[in-house]
Amino acid sequence: MKIDVLFYPEKLKNAEDKAVVVLDVLRATTTIATALAAGAEKIYPVSSIKEAFLLKKKISGALLGGERGGIKVPGFDLGNSPLEYQGLKGKTIILSSTNGTKTLKKAVSARALIAGSIVNAKAVADYLLKLNLDVVFMPSGTDSQFSLEDFAGAGYIISLLAEQKKIELSDQAYLSFELARNNPPEEILTRSFHGQRLINLGFARDVEYCAKLNLLDVVPVGRLQEGRLVIESSRLFR
Ligand SMILES: O=C(O)[C@H](CS(=O)(=O)O)OP(=O)(O)O
Ligand SMILES: [Mg+2]
């Protein structure tokens, strides 16, 4: 199993035979895992607020979630705090965030598309082992700038893979593995630029929650449905 980490490609290439794990630890992929664990049925990642409102007209009963600048979009039902995503049985969510939802849409060509975070690291690692494909991690970053938390998030999942299987790491995958092995998640998230920004915005409890390693046994997987990316909880192998 070969493992790599890509940094903010404009377009994902050569992933037709790979499992691609998109990470946005603070906070979109943590929010997605939490929403599915809270019973949500489908999540549609969209790139713009306009797209979100247009899609809502087509899906009656869907909830609008997301943020700009970390703050809930006016007119949306939910922001991008995972702590808001509770009691969602059977709900459909249309989610638009600054970084993560855009990265998910970039990864649609993957053989298998998974939303990874720290809270579901072990569930994702177990799923990857069963898929037994080469793996590419796509940290979302913040405005296409390096984000420590996403890079470390890949490392926590790689650490779990390494416990179970012989894996071949690219240099950047090795670096993320070493970062994760030597630093607990709460320290990484608290000291990260994005973590500090969220704390200053009043989202300290989010940062604390997003650092809870292996909290949720849920694997968000993406597929194209009538040409649109939809994220659901994997039923395969579960
Ligand atoms: O909601 C978030 O945490 C971020 C936006 S910001 O960096 O906090 O302004 O969006 P995400 O797409 O989850 O990185
Ligand atoms: Mg983020």
Q: Which atom of ligand 1 is nearest to the CA of 27?
A: 13
Please give the Cα distance from 44 to 95 (Å, whole number).
Answer: 6
Q: What is the pLDDT of residues 194-230, one digit of tens each?
A: 999 999 999 999 999 999 999 999 999 999 999 999 9
Amino acid at 114: I
* ipTM topping 0.95: yes
Please give the Cα distance from 13 to 72 (Å, whole number).
Answer: 33
Mutate which of 23, 48, 80 for ligand 1? The one with the most ligand atoms within 8 Å of its CB, which is 80
Mutate which of 30, 31, 97 for ligand 1? The one with the most ligand atoms within 8 Å of its CB, which is 97
Contact yes or no for 114/128 (Cβ under 8 A): yes
Centroid of ligand 2 to alpha carbon of 143 (angstroms): 9
Please give the Cα distance from 111 to 124 (Å, whole number).
Answer: 15
Q: What is the pLDDT of residues 19-31, one digit of tens each?
A: 999 999 999 999 9
Contact yes or no for 83/132 (Cβ under 8 A): no
Tell me which residues have their CB within 5 A of the ion that is ligand 2: 24, 26, 99
Q: Is 94 left (phi over 0), alpha (psi -120 to 50) or beta?
A: beta
Contact yes or no for 96/47 (Cβ under 8 A): yes
User: CB neighbours (10 Å) of residue 175?
Assistant: 15
Residue 103 Cβ < 6 Å to ligand 1: no
Q: What is the pLDDT of residues 153-166, one digit of tens each?
A: 999 999 999 999 99
The SS3 call for residue 212 is coil
